[in-house]
Amino acid sequence: MDIFLISTILIVLAAIFGYVNERFLKLPTTIGLMLITIVFTLIVLGIAQFDDTILEAEKEIISNIDFEELLLDSMLSFLLFAGALHTNFEQLRIQRGPILAFSTLGVLLSTFLVGIVTYLLLMLLGMDVAFIYCLLFGALISPTDPIAVLGILKQADAPKKLETKIVGESLFNDGVGVVVFITIYHIASSPGQAIDPVMIAELFGLEVLGGIVLGLILGFLTYRMLRSIDDYDTEVIITLAAVMGGTVVAQRFHLSAPLAMVTAGLIVGNDTMRASSMSKITETYVDKFWELLDILLNTILFVLIGMEILVLTIEMNYLVAGLIAIPLVLLCRYLSLLPPISFFQKRLEFVPGTSLVMTWGGLRGGISIALALSLSQEMNRELFLVMTYVIVVFSILVQGLTVGNLVRRVSVKTEKADLQEDQ
């Protein structure tokens, strides 16, 4: 199957499933698409008991797609730039302290907490898995997925302070999470070798700091180019070139492309920069282009996530481990958020229930699945892939469907608290 035919099939499926969702289910796009795709795949599996033609075709599509490479090396840069482009920069600047703490300290704490509880859980279930591989699982499941989070929060009327924390964390912590995963993966791939803290620090620093510096350079160059001309067609192409070219440069020099794209998007999308570099018509075209690209890639991504069920090795003990891991991972996320919240709560005004909403609203998605797919067989790939998929499905379908109600309850409490202060 060539790439054009695969792309055509995915877009046609995304369009049909999207229509069904909007016409009948009326769920948030990310949730609706994934749910419909999973149901469709299960129906295909049932039909395959009599005729496996459709199943074989679906398997061929999945086998011809490197989900890890497609998401981490290509789609993620576009999605993060689009998300950062429309993020409230001023609120992000005010909340920069907790966002930085959530996306660094929070990810590291969660990685080790999840690694420890997973190791103990698997021991109780009679599965002998090395602790370093459990840490890898902790690293891949800890980052919240900005693609899933942004899609859900668009439909939830969250208080701006809370929304900024969740969105800001999700934009940055996936880049940090990928770097943490790569670092632990490097250690796990070299068993018996002495761990060199200096080398680990250099690898981490190069990926994170290098990615941010690249993003600053890209954002500034893009801003200067946009400011020097007034042609909306060319300016849209310049933003597209910045993402594509920046991603290639980041991959060539082993920098974090996700962090580079978030940084560049925040600079280009900053209201002050927009006012001096874009005319009103240019701003409209740039925004609409990236909104459309964001929606298109999101629909394809969540259809793919639903279809990835075909690559799973379904075993009962794997499913049990995944189901038990759901509350454990949520508990670890809650505990990992407490230190940053406790530290910054005295300096910044936090919305009541911030830790609860951020725990339940920290959705997992395609990034976790992509990282799980990159594990080798020696790293218990099949086990962790099933566990990851179970957690992601629960996260998107259950947490995603209920986080809106939780946010609305928090909003009501916030409004009551504000009224009492005014009185």
Per-residue pLDDT reduced to its tens digit, 364-421: 989 999 999 999 999 999 999 999 999 999 999 999 889 888 887 877 666 666 556 5
Where does a domain end: 45, 63, 81? 63
Distance from C-alpha of 260 to C-alpha of 398, rounded to nearest angstrom: 32
pLDDT in tens, 388-398: 999 999 999 99
CA dihedral 405, 408, 410, 415 (to 10 degrees): -160
**Alpha helices in 189-279, H assignment, sequence order:** 197-228, 232-252, 257-269, 271-277
Q: Determine the pLDDT at residue 19.
A: 96
Q: Are residues 95 and 55 in the same domain?
A: no
Show contacts of 56-61: CB within 8 Å, 24+ apart: 58/307, 58/310, 59/310, 60/1, 61/1, 61/6, 61/9, 61/10, 61/307
Residues 236 and 313 in one domain: yes
Looking at the fold, whether 153 and 236 belong to one and the same domain comes out as yes
Summarize the confidence of residues 327-353 as an average pLDDT: 88
| Domain of residue 106, CATH code | 1.20.1530.20
Total domains present in the chain: 2
Q: Which whole-number Å values give the CA distances from 273 to 96, 269, 276, in the listed order?
A: 19, 7, 5
Report the pLDDT value the prediction gives residue 336, as an integer from 0 to 100. Answer: 96
Tell me what pLDDT residue 272 has: 87
**C-alpha dist (Å) from residue 10 to 80, 280, 306, 314:** 21, 34, 12, 25
**Residue that has been written with the tokens 């990810």 in this structure:** 107
Tokens of 48: 């395959």
DSSP state letter for 22: I
Return the closest-CA partner of residue 17 out of 1, 39, 43, 44: 39
3-state helix, strand, coil in the chain (%, to 5): 85, 0, 15
Regarding whether 142 and 24 lie in a shared domain, the answer is: no
Q: Are residues 86 and 199 in the same domain?
A: yes
Residues 94 and 140 in one domain: yes
Q: What is the DSSP letter of 174?
A: H
Indicate if 16 and 120 belong to the same structural domain: no
What are the tokens at 90?
């001023």
Residue (of 398, 403, 387) closest to 329 by Cα position: 387
**Rounded distance, CA 189 to CA 93, Å?**
39
Do 163 and 294 share a domain, yes or no? yes
Please state the rounded mean pLDDT for residues 26-30.
Answer: 85
Whether 79 and 124 map to the same domain: the answer is: yes
Structure tokens at 343: 């530290």
Q: Cα dist. 135→109, 138, 208, 227, 241 in Å?
A: 11, 5, 20, 46, 37
Residues 277 and 223 in one domain: yes
| CA–CA gap between residue 228 and residue 223 (Å, rounded) | 9
Distance of alpha carbon 380 from the chain centroid: 23
Give the domain-ending residue among 28, 47, 63.
Answer: 63
Q: Using the 8-state DSSP alphabet, how is residue 102 labeled?
A: I
| Domain identity same for 44 and 74 | no
Tens of pLDDT along 148-169?
676 666 666 677 777 788 888 8
* Cβ-based neighbours of 80, under 8 Å, separated by 6 or more: 146, 171, 174, 175, 258, 261, 262, 265
Within a 10 A sphere around the Cβ of 341, how many other Cβ atoms? 18
Give the CA diameter of the chain.
Answer: 70
Q: What percent of the chain has pLDDT over 90?
A: 63
Judgement on whether residues 113 and 16 belong to the same structural domain of the protein: no
Return the higher-pLDDT residue of 190 and 398: 398
CA-closest candidate to residue 293, choices 143, 74, 27: 74
The pLDDT score that the predictor gives to residue 95 is: 85
Which of 36, 63, 90 is the endpoint of a domain? 63
Range of the domain at 54: 3-63
Condensed to tens digits (0 to 9), the pLDDT of residues 221-241 reads 999 999 999 999 999 999 999
Q: What confidence score (pLDDT) does residue 384 get?
A: 97
Mean per-residue pLDDT over the chain, rounded: 89
